[in-house]
Structure 1
């Protein structure tokens, strides 16, 4: 049915090109919104398989790097055509993008999913369309959801590791710097900056960072927890507002990605912090972005957890080429460092990055 649909679409496009005098380029529609898309936009009408990729937000620094890596791998290899669309951090836009890719008859749907309440429905629709589903850099379907369809895969970092890395960095700093307890209450008072509400990564990064502190016997108190959608500007504004009310109570900032950590640092600087050693506030983040690494080097960001977007993008593409060749996903067949394969899961391991090993952040 999918092939038939593809042929119909291809024929319709050919007629359109003749009527309009021809064109050398086209793009994947993004649900009627302003969401951008890249690639040729043509569905698989010939032998070359096509992958439609729904990224949650092109503007996210980590996602931009992963997206570029995947697109470059596809362009260099030429086996699988990749087209992608920006869901703009909006569930309705993501759904529209997915529907458009199905209409185009894609063979693979790579989903950087933000609709965690609809994973079963997403899998059911993928099964109906006979499309291979790859959940990328997002929470995994449950075992029961995997059992619904044999063409479901998951490629993502081990998010729990990133939370533990942040928490352990704060444990070390607390133990080495008793002056960190700025109000003398015997507790580590923190601001928690969350990403998307309900997003798996932000939930486990926040909870596991606090668990690492608790495991070390450090009592904590939340000054304020706030959702900043992984955005730097949102974090800067939120932290600035918090500091106006409780500047003397903040001992640390835990941010669920580097962009939010950097926004927090700007707000802290504006409030008089980081002027000298006595005004230092430890801030931790995740992703080891280029700007995050620079903040490690200049001494404002205490620690980040390397979530390698190059490994993510290359893992997704290598997985699709293996499946296209009829090969099984195994550690040996994937042949990539820094990852482990478990069934239909590709797990990418985090690395803690501080001033002591900042050179390890290169990718």
Structure 2
């Protein structure tokens, strides 16, 4: 009988110990979950082969790692490449929505399809940060959780002009090689309908004319921001116009570098035209240092990446959006440009190495 009582007491103790241990286990899990929270940020790109866009993405990933080390959040950055397909990009946005991402960052294939992307995100209450390719204002006004990060395209065009104007004033013969009192130029444009391509081209020429410099357009064409296409276009122009072109304005550095490749492959050209780009990618800075490009205009990929990530992080953590630096009209962040020539290129080459 005593044995039975002892066994009964033992059996009573077991559930109590189990419950205590179970409670302790639950507390541990709860504390862990409260300590480490997960943020999921989806990024869809028009084309990851674009050197400038690729640099922005790398910077975002680096900034996210630093933030993860400093904070209480596990940060997942999922980057998808739409490879120029608007329908593929739409599917990628649907995927982010179905997987309950906290924020979606979109570098649009086609800015006219922004409304479709917005509708998908809005239906699931997922904020969207557009970047580099700006939706029309009417689309961004459709919801209070839409943002845009980019640069001042007008300034980029004006700074391109400024570099050529300064060169012209310092050494007129270097620019106006045939001495006819006007500059014969070619324009490599990004793509039809892209707002930055249109604005950069327009304001570059306007700034030249405003400063009293007469221009003659010899050729212009779109090369879709790509070096290989620019090489093909420039090769065709060389064969058609010979050494008539005195300046090549390019909407970005990749195309400028493509033009240089074509020029260097044509030894029959006596006097190569001055070539100028926009973005300030490392290869372009090296070309400026070497003298094959007269200059470029830095479109700060680090500042843009920082702005994109900061917006996404604030949105994902339900932070105070009014505290975001540089936010205009509650939804725009535009980063500044910087002119780069042989006079200051070493400074920016050093900065690109440091990063």
**Which category describes the TM-score, using the shorter chain as reference length?**
0.7 to 0.9
Shift of 1:229: 1.0
Q: Retained in 2: the 8 A contact 1:158–1:348?
A: yes
Q: Retained in 1: the 8 A contact 2:190–2:197?
A: yes
The unaligned stretches of length 5 or more in structure 2 are 1-35
Give yes or no for the alignment of 1:343 onto 2:343. no
CA distance in 2, matches of 1:210, 1:127: 40
Match of 1:100 among 95, 98, 109: 95
Match of 2:203 among 208, 219, 228: 208
1:112-158 deviations in Å (ceiling 9; x for gaps): 1121112233323321121101011122440x323311100111111
Match of 1:157 among 148, 151, 161: 151
Give yes or no for the alignment of 1:242 onto 2:237. yes
CA distance in 1, matches of 2:309, 2:245: 43
Structure number with greater Rg is 2
CA distance in 1, matches of 2:239, 2:220: 15
Higher helix share: 2
Shift of 1:170: 1.5
Matches within 5 A, 1:182-331: 182-272=177-267, 279-330=271-322
CA distance in 1, matches of 2:335, 2:135: 13
Query: What is the aligned length?
Result: 309
TM-score w.r.t. the length of structure 1 is 0.79
Is the partner of 2:158 in helix, strand or coil? helix
Q: Retained in 1: the 8 A contact 2:86–2:113?
A: no
Cα RMSD, aligned residues only: 2.1
Matches within 5 A, 1:75-114: 75-78=65-68, 79=73, 80-114=75-109
Match of 1:358 among 340, 345, 351: 345
CA distance in 2, matches of 1:92, 1:324: 26
Q: Retained in 2: the 8 A contact 1:353–1:360?
A: no
Is the partner of 2:242 in helix, strand or coil? helix
- Alignment partner, residue 60 of structure 1: 50
The unaligned stretches of length 5 or more in structure 1 are 1-45
- Alignment partner, residue 139 of structure 2: 145
Change (3 A) 1:305 1:181: same
TM-score w.r.t. the length of structure 2 is 0.81
Is the partner of 1:84 in helix, strand or coil? strand
Match of 1:128 among 123, 134, 146: 123
Moved over 6 A (4+): none
CA distance in 1, matches of 2:170, 2:338: 22
Q: Retained in 2: the 8 A contact 1:137–1:156?
A: yes
